[in-house]
Structure formats: structure tokens, C-alpha cells
Amino acid sequence: MEEPRFVVNTVMTGEDYRKFLYIATFKRNKLMLPLLGLIALAGSMIVSMSNGHIDLPSLIISWIFLYALAIGAVIIKVERKYARRIKTDKTGTFDSVSVLKFYEDKIIMENEQLKSTGELKYDQIFMLMESKDYFIFYITVNQASLLRKKDIADISAFKNFIEGKFNGRYKKI
């Protein structure tokens, strides 16, 4: 049987999940913050309208307030999703060791605590994103699996290997 090119023992903690939610919300889609800014600007233009003219100081103050309010609302949504996931995790997903074996044509994932094994070919994975701390394997548009960089022994060799498997489906964020 073929030997894996890389074997990585990794763990996803609750804090890793929280970071992932923020990455997925704010960094995955680069248009999120500008879109919130434009919506806030449109709202502030309406608020600062006086006698058919826009009052510039009022526009600036209301835009800052509405932009901060919009970002705050998104942060509250992320934190609620995080708290709900932590509260409902009955399977022990967090803090359990997953073993990822990277072969030339596939990844085999094993988790003894969860009693699960899975195999995916690289072309079955929707996209790979790399952040400062993680490799994020998007199985579908909305389903992802994290690999912490700190769990990888030779990060540069792994990065060279894995980038080649995702031509056109790799994104550094």
C-alpha cells in the first residue's frame, strides 16, 4: 500500500472554531466590510438630509455610528453561532485528535474518539483557503474542515505539496 506524503495529528479547540467563524465571516468574502460601509453610508445620507441638502458633519457622525452598529450586529451573530455550537456539541468534536493522511491523490481523515473515518480525493474538495493560522478545506461552499498550521511538522513542504493539488481552487486570505 502507498505511504502517505504527510501525516498530521490535529485538534480543533473551541477557540479555533471561533477564529474560523470570524475568518469565514470577514476574510472569506472581501466584500463584506465594504458592503456594510455602503449600506451604512446610504442610511447616514438619509439621516443627515436637511431641507434637501446633506449636512456633512451629521453625515460623517451617523455613517461612523451606523457602520459600527452593522459590524457589531455581525459580531453578535458570530458569537451566538459559536455559543450555540459549543453548547450543542455532544459528540466531543472539539479537543479530539484527528489524523489526516495526505496521499498523492486523496486525504484520509480518522478520528478515534468520534469513531469516524473518511476519504476524499482532492478534486472532490471545493476549495482550499490559507489563513495565518490555518489551512481551511471547504468540502462544500458551506462545510469546512480546519487544519492548524502549528500541527504540521514541515509547513513549507506541506504548503508546496497541497497548493499543487488545488490549482485554481487555492486562496490565501
Residue indicated by cell numbers 472539539:
94
- 4-60 pLDDT, tens digit per residue, is 989 999 888 888 889 988 988 887 777 888 989 999 999 998 888 876 788 888 889
Residues 6 or more apart whose CB falls under 8 angstroms from that of 14 comprise 82, 86, 94, 95
The C-alpha cell that represents 108 in the structure block:
484520509
Residues 6 or more apart whose CB falls under 8 angstroms from that of 47 comprise 58, 62, 66
Instruction: Yes or no: say if 4 and 109 are a contact pair by the CB < 8 Å rule.
Output: no
Asked if the structure places residue 1 within a domain, the reply is no
pLDDT band at 107 (very low <50, low <70, confident <90, very high): very high
Do residue 101 and residue 149 come from a single domain? yes
Of residues 92 and 68, more confidently modeled = 68
Query: In whole angstroms, what is the distance from residue 25 CA to residue 64 CA?
Result: 21
Say how far residue 82 (Cα) sits from the centre of its chain.
13
The C-alpha cell that represents 122 in the structure block:
482532492
Q: Does residue 133 register a pLDDT over 80? A: yes
**Amino acid letter, residue 45:** M
- 87-103 pLDDT, tens digit per residue, is 887 666 777 788 999 99
Number of domains in the chain: 2
pLDDT at 91: 66
Report which secondary-structure segment, H or E, holds 108: strand 106-111
Asked if the structure places residue 148 within a domain, the reply is yes
Asked if the structure places residue 170 within a domain, the reply is no
Q: Does residue 122 register a pLDDT over 80? A: yes
Share of the chain above pLDDT 70, in %: 96
| Domain span including residue 28 | 17-88
Beta strands at 144-148 and 134-138: parallel, antiparallel or unpaired: antiparallel
| Last residue of one domain, picked from the residues 64, 88, 112 | 88
Asked if the structure places residue 157 within a domain, the reply is yes
Do residue 102 and residue 83 come from a single domain? no
Residue indicated by cell numbers 471561533:
18
Asked if the structure places residue 172 within a domain, the reply is no
Do residue 77 and residue 100 come from a single domain? no
| Last residue of one domain, picked from the residues 88, 114, 140 | 88
Instruction: Yes or no: say if 126 and 138 are a contact pair by the CB < 8 Å rule.
Output: yes
Do residue 84 and residue 145 come from a single domain? no
DSSP alpha helices (H): ranges in 6-143? 14-22, 32-47, 56-88
